[in-house]
Amino acid sequence: MSDPSRAKGIRRARTRTGAEMPVLGLGTWKMGEDPRRRRDEVAALRLGLDLGMTLIDTAELYSKGESEKVVAEAMVGRRDEVFLVTKVMPENASFEGTLRACDRSLARLKTDRIDLYLLHWKGRHPIEETLRAFGSLRESGKIRHFGVSNFDVADMTALERVPGGRDVASNQVLYHVDSRGIERRLVPWCRSRGVVVMAYSPLAEGKLRPSAALKKVAVRHDVSPYAVAIAWTIREDGIVTIPKAGSVEHVRDNAAAATLRLTPTDVAELDAAHPTPDQDVPLDTA
């Protein structure tokens, strides 16, 4: 089956390992927590696929695996359309633990492969063990690509020196208009090496309050300020974004960001209202 993101004209990002994905996808944090919302969550994900947002991001951590089950329902009959991302928790990221965690995720997702498998954040297990497990899973066909999440520049630099570290395809980190610290060093580092930056919480976990600048740009383009904020995260190459939307209304609103092209004037106004830090800051995770 063809990828709807191509038909919808959504730009795509390519990692150094050859993975390709649309720059706008679907997050699933907290999906599956409330069974009463399950039908709406599945409908939202399926609409996202219809609109070309064929990257779905989930994790074994989210709702204790229930999020992966929601994704499984959304993918029924459509698995080949989806670029599927999930994550192993650090406490499970030993060599054998990673293999077992992947099998559990595959069972919940009701699929035979994961397109991108991430270490959710650094933990007590040596990264060498996790990467060795990732390599084994890739050889067996259970995953196609692997990466990390919540790694800063020093972490990524150290990762490059570990066997398998140069096969890391992506780094998923928090990024939105009021959290721009990664622009100083991490984004340039990743871009120069073909590591795709995957921005989570582009709307600050729903806490983003549109500034006057976001509202002004939104009026100019006849979209919502939230669509502008999402489009802003993917204004440059090498970054994809995964806003969560639990309703079809929110999915439609987010989808407008896929084809929104911010002008230099737009970007300048947003930069003035939401400046990059003037010095390096710790990696933001909330």
| Active site members | 62
CA 145 to chain centre: 14
**Mapping DSSP to helix (H, G, I), strand (E, B) and coil, where does residue 175 land?**
coil
Q: What's the CA gap between 105 and 67, in Å, rounded? A: 10
Q: Which two tokens stand for residue 74?
A: 């959304």
Amino acid at 48: G
Which one, of 182, 178, 112, lies nearest residue 142 by Cα? 112
3-state secondary structure of 111: coil
- Containing 171, the helix (H) or strand (E) segment is strand 168-174
SS3 category, 45:
helix
**Helix H or strand E segment including 40:** helix 38-50
